[in-house]
Amino acid sequence: MSAVTPRVVTPRVDTPGADAPRVRVPSAAPARPSRGPARHRGLRVVRWTFLTVLGLYFLVPQLAMARFAFQNVPVVLLNASTLFSKWSASSLVDALSQAALWDAAKTSAMLAVLSVVLDLALLLPLAILAEIRAPRLRPVLSALTLLPWVIPPIALVVGVAATFRDVAPGFLTSTLSLVPFYAIWAMPFTYRALDSGLRAINARTLVEAARSLGASELTVLFRVIVPNLSASIVAASGLTAALVLGEFAFASLLLKNTLPTYLVNYQRDSPQAGMALALAVMVLTALALGAVVHMLRRRGLGMSTTGF
């Protein structure tokens, strides 16, 4: 059988009425052509001014932090004339040589992984069920999952502590007690990422297609939904992890030693090294997020399908 199909050009006989030939009307010329370019130039100036101001607002403090952290110059002498003198990474080396840092980092990493797992285990089935079985529940869920941002951490901690002190006295002493808090805290991000991902892949018709082909519920879930939702799952996990790695209030209130609480305490003792460490963490986080986005793009999954 020939693979090449001769292209059959059917003369189009327009059946009366339905699609009468459409006349393309040339679009009207711009009303005031003379003012067009001037307005564009004005807009461009505004745009660049805005971007420059925003950039400076962001960069100046970073530069100040970097100078404070990495220049062996007394703070009072940090001015324009000393901009290029005595740069050194010694403070960062100091900071990285603290064993307590690595303990705290390990704790935080573990908390991040567990929080991601718990969050996905709770919200992935919920978001899928809501999308496929009960779309009317979606606005309710989306409001409910915003609650963690309305309740301040102190209220959550006090409430939970009061409850658990009687029920399970050992619970709050464990570092792992942070995991449920973080899972709740990350809910708004995770739910939104999953929900918009489900809508972007048109999950409901995919499920219908799979079911009409004879797929069981589990096959639908693991062979159809999860693979196509991977961008959202990665985005949700990345955001949850970033949130956990930077969370201070819960850890501090529950007296746990995580990376953020360690950073605050350490900075109190050695301000310069603490600042160097904070900058390093920031750069690493930015690089990690960039890598995730890049990976998703290469798989043809823009961040747009994740809701962010």
Partner 1 sequence: MATIEMIGVRKTFGTTVALADLHLHVESGEMVCLLGPSGCGKTTALRLLAGFEQPDAGQILVDGEDVTHVSPRHRGFGMVFQDYSLFPNLTGRQNIAFGLKVRRKGAAEIAETVDRLLAVTRLEKHADKYPHQMSGGQRQRVALARAIATEPRLLLLDEPLSALDAQVREHLRDEIRRLQQEVGVTTVFVTHDQHEAMAVADRVAVMRDGLLEQIDPPRVLYSRPASQFVAGFVGTVNRLSAERTVDGGWFVLGAKVEAVGDTGSEPAAAPDATPVAGEKATADAAPKHAVVRPEQLHVNRAESGAGPVARLVALSFLGAFTRAVIEHPTEGLVTADVLGEAADGLAVGDAVAVSVRPGAGAVVLQ
Q: Is residue 215 at the binding interface for partner 1, with CB under 8 A as the rule?
A: yes
* Closest distance of CB 303 from partner 1, Å: 16
Q: Which of 49, 72, 219, 304 binds partner 1 (CB under 8 A)?
A: 219
Q: Is residue 26 at the binding interface for partner 1, with CB under 8 A as the rule?
A: no
Burial of 222 per CB tally in 10 Å (0-12, 13-18, 19+): exposed
Q: Is residue 16 at the binding interface for partner 1, with CB under 8 A as the rule?
A: yes
Indicate left, alpha or beta for 255 from its phi (over 0: left) and psi (-120 to 50: alpha): left
Structure tokens at 101: 């840092």
Stretch that binds partner 1, among 9-17, 45-53, 75-83, 107-115 (CB under 8 A): 9-17
* Closest distance of CB 191 from partner 1, Å: 22
Stretch that binds partner 1, among 13-21, 114-122, 159-167, 278-286 (CB under 8 A): 13-21
**Contact in structure between 144 and 172 (CB atoms under 8 Å):** no
* Closest distance of CB 117 from partner 1, Å: 22
Q: Which of 6, 26, 33, 214 binds partner 1 (CB under 8 A)?
A: 214
Of residues 220-259, which lie at the interface with partner 1 (CB under 8 A)?
Answer: 223-224, 227-228
CA distances (Å), origin 164, targets 6, 170, 255: 75, 8, 16
Q: Is residue 18 at the binding interface for partner 1, with CB under 8 A as the rule?
A: yes
Stretch that binds partner 1, among 8-16, 27-35, 53-61, 94-102 (CB under 8 A): 8-16
| The Cα angle at residue 41 between residues 57 and 45, in degrees rounded to 5 | 10
**Contact in structure between 68 and 75 (CB atoms under 8 Å):** yes
* Closest distance of CB 105 from partner 1, Å: 35
Residue with smaller CB distance to partner 1, 20 or 29: 20
Q: What distance in Å separates the CA atoms of residue 154 and residue 108, rounded to the nearest whole number?
A: 20
* Closest distance of CB 43 from partner 1, Å: 34
- Single out the residue of 155, 168, 307, 158 nearest to residue 238, CA to CA: 307
Query: Can you give 266-298 as a three-state secondary structure string?
Result: HHHHCHHHHHHHHHHHHHHHHHHHHHHHHHHHH
Q: Which of 206, 264, 281, 289 binds partner 1 (CB under 8 A)?
A: 206
Q: What distance in Å separates the CA atoms of residue 145 and residue 193, rounded to the nearest whole number?
A: 12
Residue with smaller CB distance to partner 1, 79 or 212: 212
